[in-house]
Amino acid sequence: MFSIALRPPAPLPSRRPLAYLLLTGVLTGWCLHAAAQLAPAAGAAVPGAQSLPPPPLPMEEVRLFAQVLSQVREAYVEPIDDKTLLENAIKGMLAGIDPHSTYLARDDYDALQETTTGEFGGLGVEVSIENGFIKIITPMDDSPAARAGIKAGDLIIKLDDTPAQQVTLGDTSELLRGEPGTSIRLTILREGLPEPFEVKVTREIIKARSIRYREAEPGYGYIRIAQFSADTGNEVVEALGKLQAGETPLQGVVLDLRNNPGGVLQAAVGVVDAFITEGLIVYTKGRLPNAEMRFEATPEDPSRGVPLVVLINSGSASASEIVAGALQDSKRAVIMGTRSFGKGSVQTVLPLTNDRAIKLTTSLYFTPSGRSIQATGISPDIVVDRGQVTRIADSVAAYREEDLTRHLQNANGSDAPSTAPAENVTAPAALPQPKVSAEDVLVPDYQLNEALNLLKGLNVMKALR
C-alpha cells in the first residue's frame, strides 16, 4: 500500500518577488510596443475583406499569462529558468496557429537552410502535425525512412519513449535529425493495420537530390523531382537538353511529382518556366504588402513544346502543387494521378535575434486562374489510382493466319515467313531470356505506364490531324 499526499498549490506571496514584477512590466511594455508596431498591419486590408480597426490589447490576458508564469516558476516540481519558460510559451503560441508556423532556435534555422541548400543528418522525411500526432507527408527517395518502409500518411505516435502529443513541429524536426549513425525508434500507426508497430531507423547524411531523369522509352523522357531545392529549375532545363540530345527525337515527357513535399517557391517557378513561354505562373496574397508576389514566365522554351504529363498524388505538396496548378491552368500539361496534399500557404522566416527566428505563415498562393490550393489541392485531369500491371505474353504456340497451311500470301508481298504446320509446332526446351527493357521496368508502376500510354496517344492523334 502507498498513499499520495494531495494539496493545493501554495498561495502566492502577497508581495511579489522583484523578478516577477520586472517580468510583468517587461511583458506589459513588450505587448504595448508590439501592439503599436502591428497596428498598421492589423488594420491593413485583406483582399476581399473589409478593413477593421485593430482590436484593443487584452491586458487581462497579459496579466493572466504573467500569473501562470509565476505559478509555474514557484510551484512546479523542479526549478525552471525564465528563458526556458518564455521560449516554450513562444513555441506553444506558434504551434497553436497552424501546423506550419514554428519557432526557430539556432539549430532549427540551420536545419531549415540545410533542407533547401545542402546536406543534413536525419531520416529523410517531411512531416506535419495532425490531431496531436506527427504525420508523414512523404519519405524522400532512397532515404533511411524510405528503406525502413515508412510511407506517406503514416502517423508517428511515439519517438523513442516520447509521446508525439508532447512535441511541437519544431521539436519534431530536432528529434528526427541528428548525428549520422545514431538511431531513433518510431512507433507508427498505419491505416489498415490493427495495431501500431515499431521501426528503428538509423540517421544518415541526407543528400537533397533534386531530380533524376532518364529515357523511359525511345522518344519519351522521364523527369522525377524529389523535392524543390534552390537549383531545381536549372537542373530540369539541363535534363531536357540531354533528353533532346538523345538518339531518338523527344516526343513527350513525364514529370513525376508524386510524394514531393515541396521546397523553394522560386524553384517551382523555374520548373514551370521551363515548359511555358508566357503568362502568370503563381501569385501570393497576404496581409502585408511585401507578402504579395507575382511570377511570370519568360519567352524561352527549353521543352520545345513537347507533350507533357504531370504525375501527382496525395504526397505532392506545396511547390509541387504550384507546378501542377500552373501547368494545368495554362493547358500546357495533362495532370494525372490522384488529388494532391493541399498545402497552399507560404511561410516566411522572420529573424528575432542573431540566432533566433520564427517561421510564420504570411500568405496564401494561387494558381494563374485564381484557385487557392489550401486544403483542397490540385485535382488531376485524369484520375489514375496506384496499381500494378501484369503482363501476359502470347503463348509460344499461338496461331496466326500465317501459321495456317495453304494460307493466302500477302497482297503487298510482305507476308511473314510461315512457321511449321500446326501439328509440328513444339515449344523449345529452354527459351532465351530477353533483356529487361525500359517498358518492362515500367510495368510495376501503373500510373507511369498510363502516363506514357497517354503521351503515345497524343502523338498518334497529332499525326492523324
| pLDDT attached to residue 411 | 86
Give the whole-angstrom CA distance, residue 426 versus residue 214.
Answer: 40
| Average pLDDT, integer, range 442-458 | 90
Q: What percent of the chain has pLDDT over 70?
A: 77
How many CA atoms, within 13 angstroms, populate the side-chain half-sphere of residue 150? 31
Asked if 329 is an active-site residue, the reply is yes
What are the pLDDT digits (tens) for 52-108?
666 777 888 889 988 999 999 999 999 999 989 999 999 999 999 999 999 988 777
Q: Are strands 162-163 and 220-225 parallel, antiparallel or unpaired?
A: unpaired
302 close to 448: Cβ distance less than 8 angstroms: no
Lowest mean pLDDT among 183-197, 284-298, 432-446: 432-446
Is the pLDDT at 413 greater than 80? The verdict is no
Higher per-residue pLDDT: 416 or 370:
370
Output the average pLDDT for the chain: 82
Per-residue confidence band for 113, with pLDDT thresholds at 50, 70 and 90: low
Asked if 318 is an active-site residue, the reply is yes
| pLDDT attached to residue 197 | 95
| pLDDT attached to residue 414 | 66
176 close to 206: Cβ distance less than 8 angstroms: no
SS3 313: coil
Set out the domains of the chain in order of their start, with CATH numbers: 102-207 (2.30.42.10), 211-383 (3.90.226.10)
Per-residue confidence band for 440, with pLDDT thresholds at 50, 70 and 90: low
| pLDDT attached to residue 316 | 96
Calculate the alpha carbon distances from 446 to 19, 150, 279, 390, 391 in Å. 66, 21, 33, 10, 12
Q: Which of 171, 256, 329, 445 is catalytic?
A: 329
Per-residue confidence band for 363, with pLDDT thresholds at 50, 70 and 90: very high
| pLDDT attached to residue 119 | 63
Of the segments 16-30, 241-255, 386-400, which one has the largest average pLDDT value?
Answer: 241-255
Q: Which of 101, 343, 359, 363 is catalytic?
A: 343
Higher per-residue pLDDT: 454 or 355:
454
Asked if 91 is an active-site residue, the reply is no
| Beta sheet of 211-217, edge-to-edge order | 211-217, 220-225, 252-256, 308-312, 334-337, 382-383
Q: What percent of the chain has pLDDT over 90?
A: 51
Q: Which of 173, 210, 229, 318 is catalytic?
A: 318
Per-residue confidence band for 14, with pLDDT thresholds at 50, 70 and 90: very low
Per-residue confidence band for 48, with pLDDT thresholds at 50, 70 and 90: very low
| pLDDT attached to residue 374 | 96
Give the whole-angstrom CA distance, residue 250 versus residue 303.
Answer: 9
Handedness of CA 49, 52, 54, 55 (dihedral sign): negative
